[in-house]
């Protein structure tokens, strides 16, 4: 029997308030896995759920299972710092990130679920003359790409962010690359909204279902072995971020990625004091304020390969020490919690959305430190690749063959340090 889902609205909220909120239905189903599906998506994070959503919405493919080894959104989607921007230098990168940012603008209405998108603006501080030249170059590239960004003066930085110290001592603020329609969204809400929409369209979300082997015959994928039994499929989409290399090895090939931890923390809640997102690549730190008042703080990725999801006091000290110089007001705040996420890095710091040596097995990985901002655009491009068997315009530049051909999309400055 099909479950009837609630449509969220002011009227439904008022109706449920009058009857003690007893009429709300579950947000998504938890079905038993079937023996086979047309398509299996491995990974129920933002990218995997967005892929499944667009397979159903754009291509009418609904015999789809999304497998998650833990709980939905419990990987990087629930462990990031929610920054959304598209001011990348290379045209291919800018195209997919701007597609994603545009989709974020209307995502709450499309999913009928408030993802709390907040276009509060993102500024990337220029604290050396080299950064000034680089950001002016990026602003000109964005102008040609049709993306609204500008290089602003230090005085305007101060007007937009009054709590910042622009005078140093080590790294004075010389200006910033400013994207006024960048911002943040609520990471859990993005996953929940996509999950609810997928389930409403009849897709199966299967949690606590770890993939243990990838089955193939004659060079073509036939299914997966899982902790909940074998599941057959005609096509397999691997969207598991930092664990992509493990799934690839199960299928018999290697990916040019490395997995490292990216750490972050939040402070105790304080009254509103920061209504923009500030990134400072020179000192490896970025900061924003959540709707609950916490200051969300993060820095660069670890310098060694690992799969940890814990933070470290050494990294926290390094990041906070740098940010306190630029934001002296935060020096007496207490840390509320810290964590780590596993990010997958490619050599050129650009993603992989590609066919693989195994026929009908597709992979979406390598988003590094910037995966959250790309979720809607990534899902759109990956769904097109899986449905048609060939990449569309968004995904075509990000194939595996670029590493063999030396056709890199170098975003090491834009993506390799902060978000």
Domain 117-183+259-346 CATH assignment equals 3.30.9.10? yes
Helix (H, G, I), strand (E, B) or coil at 21: coil
pLDDT tens per residue across span 313-325: 777 888 888 889 8
Dist CA 81 CA 279 (whole Å):
12
Task: Give the single-character DSSP code of 117.
Answer: -
Dist CA 222 CA 213 (whole Å):
11
Q: Is 24 exposed, middle or buried (0-12, 13-18, 19+ CB in 10 A)?
A: exposed
Which of 21-25, 111-115, 218-222, 396-400 shows the lowest per-residue confidence on average (mean pLDDT)? Answer: 21-25
pLDDT band at 268 (very low <50, low <70, confident <90, very high): very high
**Which residue's entry shows tokens 């193939």?**
216
Residue partners of 165: CB distance under 8 A and separation at least 6: 173, 325, 326, 327, 328
Dist CA 373 CA 389 (whole Å):
25
User: How many CB atoms sit inside 10 A of residue 2's CB?
Assistant: 7
**Which residue's entry shows tokens 């290697």?**
254
The answer to whether residue 4 scores a pLDDT higher than 80 is no
Q: Give the bridge partners for 342, in sequence order.
A: 261
Higher pLDDT residue, 134 or 313?
Answer: 134
Do 368 and 47 meet the contact criterion of CB atoms below 8 Å apart? no
Helix (H, G, I), strand (E, B) or coil at 394: coil
The answer to whether residue 187 scores a pLDDT higher than 90 is yes
Domains of the chain, residue spans: 35-82+187-256+348-415, 117-183+259-346
**pLDDT above 70 covers what percent of the chain?**
97
What does the pLDDT read at residue 6?
A: 73
Give the residue-averaged pLDDT of 190-201. Answer: 96
- Helices within 201-238 (DSSP H only): none
Average pLDDT, the chain: 92
The answer to whether residue 86 scores a pLDDT higher than 70 is yes
User: How many CB atoms sit inside 10 A of residue 233's CB?
Assistant: 23
Dist CA 84 CA 119 (whole Å):
8
What tokens does 370 get? 């910037």
The answer to whether residue 417 scores a pLDDT higher than 60 is no
Residue partners of 27: CB distance under 8 A and separation at least 6: 5, 192, 195, 196, 199
Dist CA 148 CA 211 (whole Å):
42
pLDDT band at 170 (very low <50, low <70, confident <90, very high): confident
What does the pLDDT read at residue 319?
A: 86
Extended beta strands in 187-302, E state? 204-206, 211-217, 220-226, 229-238, 257-267, 277-280, 285-289, 295-301
CATH number of the structural domain 35-82+187-256+348-415: 3.50.50.60
Residue partners of 144: CB distance under 8 A and separation at least 6: none
Dist CA 104 CA 173 (whole Å):
30
Q: Which of 182, 206, 233 is nearest to 61 (CA)?
A: 233
What does the pLDDT read at residue 307?
A: 82
Do 201 and 212 meet the contact criterion of CB atoms below 8 Å apart? no
Phi and psi at residue 36, to the nearest 5°: -160, 160
Do 153 and 103 meet the contact criterion of CB atoms below 8 Å apart? no
Dihedral angle computed from the Cα positions of residues 233, 239, 243 and 249, in that order, rounded to the nearest 10 degrees: 40
Dist CA 379 CA 241 (whole Å):
13
pLDDT band at 5 (very low <50, low <70, confident <90, very high): low
pLDDT tens per residue across span 58-76: 999 999 999 999 999 988 8
Dist CA 115 CA 106 (whole Å):
10
What b-and-e string marks burial along 276-298, b requiring 16 or more CB atoms within 10 Å of the CB?
A: bbbbbbbbbbbbbbbeeebbbbb
The answer to whether residue 147 scores a pLDDT higher than 50 is yes
What tokens does 25 get? 């239905």
What does the pLDDT read at residue 413?
A: 59
What tokens does 87 get? 């001011």
pLDDT tens per residue across span 275-303: 999 999 888 889 999 999 999 998 877 77
């Amino acid at each position: 029997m099909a479950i009837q889902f609630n449509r969220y609205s002011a009227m439904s909220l008022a109706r449920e308030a009058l009857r003690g909120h007893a009429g709300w239905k579950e947000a998504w189903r938890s079905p038993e896995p079937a023996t086979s599906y047309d398509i299996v998506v491995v990974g129920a994070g933002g990218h995997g759920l967005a892929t499944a959503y667009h397979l159903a919405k754009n291509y009418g493919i609904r015999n789809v299972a999304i497998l998650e080894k833990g709980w939905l959104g419990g990987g990087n989607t629930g462990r990031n710092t929610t920054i959304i921007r598209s001011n990348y230098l290379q045209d291919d990168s800018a195209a997919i990130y701007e597609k994603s940012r545009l989709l974020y603008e209307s995502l709450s209405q499309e999913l009928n679920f408030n993802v709390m998108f907040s276009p509060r603006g993102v500024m990337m501080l220029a604290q050396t003359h080299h950064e000034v030249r680089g950001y002016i170059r990026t602003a000109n590239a964005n102008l040609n790409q049709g993306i609204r960004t500008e290089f602003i003066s230090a005085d305007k930085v101060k007007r937009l962010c009054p709590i910042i110290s622009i005078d140093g001592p080590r790294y004075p603020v010389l200006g910033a690359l400013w994207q006024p329609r960048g911002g943040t969204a609520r990471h859990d809400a993005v996953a929940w909204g996509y999950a609810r929409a997928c389930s409403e369209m009849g897709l199966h979300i299967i949690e606590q279902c770890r993939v243990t082997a990838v089955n193939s015959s004659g060079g073509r994928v036939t299914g997966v072995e899982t902790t909940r039994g074998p599941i057959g499929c005609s096509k397999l989409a691997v969207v598991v971020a930092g664990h992509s290399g493990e799934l690839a090895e199960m299928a018999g090939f290697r990916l040019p990625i490395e997995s490292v931890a990216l750490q972050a923390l939040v402070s105790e809640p304080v009254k509103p004091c920061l209504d923009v997102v500030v990134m400072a690549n020179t000192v490896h730190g970025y900061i924003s304020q959540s709707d609950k008042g916490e200051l969300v703080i993060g820095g660069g990725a670890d310098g060694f390969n690992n799969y940890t999801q814990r933070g470290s006091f050494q990294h926290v000290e390094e990041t906070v020490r740098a940010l306190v110089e630029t934001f002296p007001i935060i020096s007496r705040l207490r840390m509320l919690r810290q964590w780590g996420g596993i990010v997958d890095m490619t050599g050129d710091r650009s993603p992989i959305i590609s066919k693989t040596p195994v026929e009908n097995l597709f992979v979406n990985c390598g988003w590094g430190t910037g995966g959250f901002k790309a979720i809607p655009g990534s899902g759109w491009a990956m769904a097109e690749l899986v449905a048609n068997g060939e990449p569309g315009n968004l995904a075509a530049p990000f194939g595996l063959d670029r590493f063999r051909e030396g056709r890199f999309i170098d975003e090491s400055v834009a993506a390799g340090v902060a978000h």
